[in-house]
Amino acid sequence: MKKIKVLIVDDSAVVRQVISALLKNEPDIEMLAPASDPIFALKKMAVQWPDVIILDVEMPRMDGITFLKQLMADHPTPVIICSTLTERGAEVTIQALQAGALTIITKPKAGLKDFLQESRQELLNAVRAAAQAKLENIFKPSHNAVKKVQATVQAITHSSPALKTTQKVIVIGTSTGGTQALEAILTALPAVSPGIVIVQHMPEKFTAMFADRLNGLCQIEVREAKHGDRVLPGLALIAPGGRHMQLNRSGAHYQVKIKDGPAVNRHKPSVDVLFRSAAKQAGPNAVGFILTGMGDDGARGLQMLKEHGAFTVAQDEASCIVFGMPKEAIERGGVCSVLPLNQIAQEILQRASSRHQ
Give the domain ranges of the chain. 4-132, 143-356
The CA distances from residue 278 to 137, 203, 281, 301, in Å, are 29, 23, 5, 9
The CA distances from residue 62 to 17, 31, 72, 181, in Å, are 21, 23, 15, 29
Q: What is the pTM of this model?
A: 0.89
Q: Do domains 4-132 and 143-356 have the same CATH topology?
A: yes
pLDDT of residue 90: 80
Q: Domain 143-356: state its class.
A: alpha beta
Which residue positions in the chain have pLDDT lower than 70?
85-87, 108-110, 115-116, 139-166, 354-357
pLDDT of residue 109: 64
**Catalytic amino acids?**
175, 201, 297
pLDDT of residue 129: 92
CA 256 to chain centre: 20
CA dihedral over 80, 84, 85, 86, signed as positive or negative: negative
Contacts of 167 (CB under 8 A, 6+ apart): 285, 352, 357
Q: Which helix (H) or strand (E) holds 337?
A: strand 337-339
Helix extents (H) in the chain: 13-23, 38-47, 64-74, 87-99, 112-118, 120-132, 143-159, 178-186, 206-217, 271-281, 299-307, 325-331, 344-352
Q: DSSP of 228-271, one letter per residue?
A: T-B--TTEEEEPPTTSEEEEEEETTEEEEEEE----BTTBSS-H
Q: Tell me the per-residue pLDDT of 90-110, one tens digit each, with 9 for 90 and over.
A: 888 888 988 899 998 887 666
How far is 250 from 176, CA to CA, in rounded Å? 33
pLDDT of residue 190: 93
pLDDT of residue 145: 46
**Could you name the CATH architecture of 4-132?**
3-Layer(aba) Sandwich (3.40)
Contacts of 277 (CB under 8 A, 6+ apart): 246, 247, 248, 257
pLDDT of residue 250: 86
Report helix, strand or coil for 192. coil
